[in-house]
């Protein structure tokens, strides 16, 4: 089908593959954000000096949350780049 529009199969498929990889990565990061947020929310943080709060678990969950945020931002950039590349390929012949 890409050949009908004068596009190379490789370029279009590479753009679509990149887009899919970015979306999958973003969905994975979103799931990790939800898990970290649930872990943080399940801990009582009224007084961090109280021993009922496991500070290591809280810190670990916060690090996981930030890591997932960074991964999500990186995957958004992959999605944007793939979208731009696909748009450029379509603009060449359209």
pTM of the model: 0.69
pLDDT of 41 reads: 87
Domain that holds residue 33: 2-93
Tokens for 25?
A: 């990565």
Domain count along the chain: 1
Tokens 């999500």 sit on residue = 72
Q: Measured between alpha carbons, how far is 74 from 69 in angstroms, rounded to an integer?
A: 9
CATH number at 12 reads: 1.10.287
CA distance 10 to 19: 14
**Residue 30: both structure tokens together:** 């979103």
Give the integer Cα–Cα distance in Å for 33 and 31: 5
Task: Tell me if 83 sits within 8 A of 19, measured CB to CB.
Answer: yes
Over residues 13-46, the pLDDT tens digits come to 566 788 899 999 999 999 999 999 999 888 765 5
* pLDDT for res 17: 85
First vs last C-alpha separation in the chain: 14
């Amino acid at each position: 089908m890409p050949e009908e529009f004068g596009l190379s199969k490789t370029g279009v498929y590479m753009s679509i593959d990149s887009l899919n990889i970015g979306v999958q990565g973003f969905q994975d990061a979103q799931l990790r954000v939800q898990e970290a947020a649930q872990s943080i929310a399940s801990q009582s943080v009224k007084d961090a000096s109280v021993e009922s709060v496991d500070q290591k678990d809280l810190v670990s969950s916060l690090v996981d949350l930030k890591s997932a945020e960074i991964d999500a931002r990186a995957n958004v950039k992959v999605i944007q780049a793939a979208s731009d590349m696909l748009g450029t390929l379509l603009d060449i012949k359209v």
